[in-house]
C-alpha cells in the first residue's frame, strides 16, 4: 500500500486519542479520511437520547478534526455501499476501522470487507474499544467464563493493557469533497419527548468534555468512590458511561489514568466497574441475542404479566414508591440514572410488577444517554436472575428499605420529587404511612399530587418468589 488515501470508518470510537485505526492510517499514508455512516438498518436502533448525544459528539469531533487540518465526512445509508462509493470517489486504497463485537456489527464488517475487496480496496481492523478482546482470557477448561468474579480474576492475571496512543497533531485530510450531507441532514434530533436543551443542561458530549470529566473524577472522586458510589445524593459516580458508550474516551485511557494514581480501595472498586463493561461485551459476543433472550433457557417460560397502566406508571415515575419514582424522573429529565437506583427500579419492574425484563431493557435503551447494548442487556439479565452471573432469584429489593439505606436523608428523592420535599427524613420514603396531619402540613394529597403505591410490596414479593420457584422447578 503506497498510493491513495485511507478511509477511517468510525463507529463507537468518536475520538482522536488512543484510536488505533486512525493512528495506523496516519502512519501508513499521507492522507486519512475519517468517515461516519449513519446506517439505520440495525436490530437495535439508537434510542432518542443516544441520537441527541451522537449529534453533539459528531459536531465536536468534526470541529476537533478541522482544528488540526482534517475533515470528518458524514454519510447516511447502507454502510457497505456508502463506504464502497466513497472509496471509489476518493481513490482510497484501504479502509481501516476499530472492531466491534455485536453480531450485527460483525456481520456488517464482513459485508463491508466483501464490498471493498471486490473493488480492490484493502480492509484492516484493529482492537480499540475494549481492554481485552472476547476469547482472549485464559480459562481452566477453555470454555466461556460465566461468572464475573472469575472473569475479572482472569483479566487481572494478564499483562496490563497497552498504553493509549496519543492524539495526532495534524490530520491531513480531503480538501475537495461535497459538503452534503451536513450533520443536520442526518436527522438525529429532536429525541423522544425531550428537548435537546434539557439534555444539554446536564451533559456536554465530546472527547474534550470526556477528558475533563475523567480528570475531575480522578482529582475529587476516585479516593471516595467505594464509600459514595451507592448513594445517589452524593454524586459519587464518575458519570463517564456515556463518553465510554460513544468511544469519546477509551477504556485504556481510563485504566492507565487510574493506574497512575496511588493504589486505593476506590481505584480497585472503580476498575471493577470497567471490568463489568468488559464482561458484558464478552457475554454479548457469546450470546448475540442477549438483549432479548434469557441466557438461562428455563426463563423463557416465566409467567410474566402485562399491565400497560402499571408499566406507564413505572416509566413516568408514578408508582407511589419515592425512590423508584425519583429514579425514573431523573432518567426522563437527564437521560441518566444512578447505578444503585437502576438496580432498584429494575427489581421493582421485574419482581414487584412481574413485567418482562426485556421491556425495561428497551425503555432504558431508548432513554439513556449511555445506552450501551452490552452493558444494558447484561445488567437487566443480572437483576432478572436469568443471566450467567445473576443476582440470586430470591433477592427482591424492598424499595422502601433501599431508599432508607442509600438515601437516608431523602436528598435524592427531594431533588426529583419536589412535591415530597416537605416530608420528614423518616417519612419521605413511605408517605402513605404518614399521619394525615403531617401530610396536610406538607401539602401532600396522596392519590392527587403524589400517587398512592400501585401495589403492595409484601404481596408482590410472595408472588414473584412463587413464580421463580415454579420456573426453577422447586415450587
Tell me the catalytic residues: 273, 276, 304, 339, 357, 380
Cβ atoms of 255 and 161 closer than 8 Å: yes
Query: How far is Cα 53 from Cα 273, in angstroms, rounded to an integer?
Result: 22
Element holding 7 (H helix, E strand): strand 6-10
In DSSP terms, 94 is beta-bridged to 6, 122
Closest C-alpha to 97, from 35, 50, 53, 166: 35
- Location of C-alpha cell 463507529: 11
Structural contact between residues 11 and 97, judged by C-beta atoms closer than 8 angstroms: yes
In a 3-state reduction of DSSP, which class is residue 36?
strand
Provide the Cα torsion 65, 67, 70, 74; round to 10°. 50
Distance from C-alpha of 318 to C-alpha of 453, rounded to nearest angstrom: 8
Q: What is the 3-state secondary structure (H, E, C) of 406-457?
A: HCCCCHHHHHHCHHHCCCCCCCCCCHHHCCHHHHHHHCCCECCCECCCCCCH
Give the span between the Cα atoms of 361 and 350, in whole angstroms. 11
Amino acid at each position: 500500500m503506497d498510493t491513495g488515501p485511507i478511509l477511517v470508518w468510525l463507529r463507537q470510537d468518536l475520538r482522536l486519542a488512543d484510536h488505533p485505526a486512525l493512528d495506523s492510517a496516519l502512519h501508513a499514508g499521507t492522507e486519512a479520511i475519517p468517515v461516519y455512516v449513519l446506517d439505520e438498518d440495525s436490530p437495535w436502533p439508537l434510542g432518542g437520547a443516544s441520537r441527541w448525544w451522537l449529534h453533539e459528539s459528531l459536531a465536536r469531533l468534526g470541529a476537533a478534526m478541522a482544528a488540526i487540518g482534517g475533515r470528518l465526512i458524514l454519510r447516511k445509508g447502507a454502510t457497505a455501499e456508502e463506504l464502497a462509493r466513497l472509496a471509489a470517489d476518493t481513490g482510497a486504497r484501504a479502509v481501516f476501522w476499530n472492531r466491534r463485537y455485536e453480531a450485527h456489527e460483525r456481520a456488517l464488517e464482513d459485508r463491508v470487507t466483501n464490498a471493498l475487496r471486490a473493488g480492490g480496496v484493502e480492509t484492516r481492523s484493529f482492537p480499540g474499544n475494549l481492554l481485552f478482546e472476547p476469547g482472549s482470557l485464559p480459562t481452566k477448561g477453555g470454555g466461556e467464563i460465566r461468572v464475573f468474579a472469575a472473569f475479572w480474576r482472569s483479566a487481572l492475571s494478564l499483562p496490563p493493557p497497552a498504553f493509549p496512543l496519543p492524539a495526532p497533531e495534524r490530520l491531513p485530510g480531503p480538501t475537495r469533497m461535497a459538503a452534503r450531507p451536513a450533520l443536520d441532514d442526518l436527522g438525529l434530533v429532536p429525541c423522544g419527548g425531550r428537548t435537546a436543551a434539557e439534555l444539554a443542561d446536564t451533559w456536554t458530549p465530546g472527547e474534550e468534555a470526556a477528558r475533563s470529566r475523567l480528570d475531575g473524577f480522578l482529582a475529587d472522586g476516585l479516593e471516595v468512590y467505594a464509600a459514595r458510589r451507592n448513594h445517589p445524593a452524593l454524586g459519587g459516580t464518575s458519570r463517564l458511561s456515556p463518553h465510554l458508550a460513544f468511544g469519546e474516551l477509551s477504556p485504556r485511557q481510563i485504566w492507565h489514568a487510574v493506574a497512575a494514581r496511588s493504589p486505593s480501595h476506590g481505584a480497585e472498586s472503580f476498575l471493577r466497574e470497567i471490568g463489568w463493561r468488559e464482561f458484558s461485551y464478552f457475554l454479548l459476543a457469546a450470546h448475540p441475542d442477549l438483549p432479548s433472550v434469557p441466557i438461562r433457557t428455563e426463563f423463557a417460560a416465566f409467567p410474566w404479566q402485562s399491565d400497560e397502566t402499571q408499566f406507564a406508571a413505572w416509566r413516568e415515575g408514578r408508582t407511589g414508591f419515592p425512590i423508584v419514582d425519583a429514579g425514573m424522573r431523573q432518567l426522563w429529565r437527564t437521560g441518566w440514572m444512578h447505578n444503585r437506583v437502576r438496580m432498584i427500579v429494575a427489581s421493582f419492574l421485574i419482581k414487584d410488577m412481574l413485567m418482562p425484563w426485556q421491556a425495561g431493557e428497551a425503555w432504558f435503551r431508548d432513554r439513556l444517554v449511555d445506552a450501551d447494548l452490552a452493558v444494558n442487556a447484561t445488567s437487566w439479565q443480572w437483576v432478572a436472575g436469568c443471566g450467567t452471573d445473576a443476582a440470586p432469584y430470591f433477592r427482591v429489593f424492598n424499595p422502601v428499605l433501599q431508599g432508607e439505606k442509600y438515601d437516608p436523608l431523602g436528598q435524592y428523592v427531594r431533588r426529583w420529587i419536589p412535591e415530597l420535599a416537605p416530608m420528614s427524613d423518616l417519612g419521605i420514603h413511605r408517605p402513605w404511612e404518614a399521619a394525615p396531619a403531617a401530610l396536610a402540613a406538607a401539602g401532600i394529597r396522596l392519590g392527587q399530587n403524589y400517587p398512592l403505591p400501585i401495589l403492595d410490596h409484601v404481596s408482590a414479593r410472595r408472588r414473584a418468589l412463587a413464580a421463580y420457584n415454579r420456573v426453577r422447578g422447586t415450587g
